[in-house]
Amino acid sequence: MHQPRKYVMQKNYEVLLIIGYGHSGTTILDMVLGSAEGSFSCGELTYITRNQFFEEYCSCGSVIRECPFWSVVFEKWVGNDRTSTSTLTSTSTGRSAQRSSQNSAQAQPPMTLEEYRLLRDQFEGNKAFLRTVFRYLFRDDAYRRYVLATERLYDLIAEESGASVIVDSSKSASRAFLLASFCRVRVVHAIRNFRGVLNSERKDVKVDLKAGIEAASKPKKAKKVLIDWVLSNVMCSVSRIWFGGKKLHFRQWIRFPDFIRLVQPALQPGFEKGLFKAEHMVAGNAIRMKPPQKLRVGQVLGSGVHGSGAPDSRAQDSHRYPRLGKRHQLLGRIVETLLPSWNR
Ligand SMILES: [Zn+2]
The one-digit pLDDT tens for each residue of the chain (344 residues) are 444 555 555 899 999 999 999 888 898 899 999 999 999 999 999 999 988 889 999 999 999 999 999 999 999 998 755 444 444 443 333 334 344 444 443 445 567 888 999 999 999 988 999 999 999 999 999 999 999 999 999 999 999 999 999 999 999 999 999 999 999 999 999 999 999 999 888 887 778 787 777 777 788 888 999 999 999 999 999 999 999 999 999 988 988 999 999 999 999 998 988 899 989 999 878 888 888 988 877 655 444 444 444 455 566 666 788 888 888 888 888 889 898 888 88
Question: How far apart are the CA of 287 and the centre of ligand 1, in A?
Answer: 15
What is the Cα–Cα distance from 269 to 260, expressed in whole angstroms? 11
Question: How far apart are the CA of 66 and the centre of ligand 1, in A?
Answer: 8
Question: How far apart are the CA of 53 and the centre of ligand 1, in A?
Answer: 13
What is the Cα–Cα distance from 308 to 40, expressed in whole angstroms? 28
Question: How far apart are the CA of 280 and the centre of ligand 1, in A?
Answer: 4
Question: How far apart are the CA of 50 and the centre of ligand 1, in A?
Answer: 17
Question: How far apart are the CA of 311 and the centre of ligand 1, in A?
Answer: 38
What is the Cα–Cα distance from 250 to 56, expressed in whole angstroms? 28
Measure Cα distances from 204 to 199, 215, 229 in Å. Answer: 11, 11, 18
Q: Of 67, 91, 93, 97, give the one whose Cα is nearest residue 79.
A: 97
Question: How far apart are the CA of 6 and the centre of ligand 1, in A?
Answer: 32
Measure Cα distances from 320 to 125, 139, 316 in Å. Answer: 31, 47, 6
Question: How far apart are the CA of 196 and the centre of ligand 1, in A?
Answer: 31
Question: Hey, how many other C-beta atoms are within 10 angstroms of the C-beta on 101?
Answer: 11
The domain tally of the chain equals 1
Question: How far apart are the CA of 262 and the centre of ligand 1, in A?
Answer: 29
* Enclosing domain of residue 160: 5-342
Question: How far apart are the CA of 72 and the centre of ligand 1, in A?
Answer: 10
Question: How far apart are the CA of 309 and the centre of ligand 1, in A?
Answer: 31
Question: How far apart are the CA of 276 and the centre of ligand 1, in A?
Answer: 15
Q: Of 189, 106, 113, 116, give the one whose Cα is nearest residue 147.
A: 116
pTM: 0.83
Burial of 122 (0-12, 13-18, 19+ CB in 10 A): middle
Question: How far apart are the CA of 67 and the centre of ligand 1, in A?
Answer: 4
Question: How far apart are the CA of 195 and the centre of ligand 1, in A?
Answer: 34
CATH code of residue 188: 3.40.50
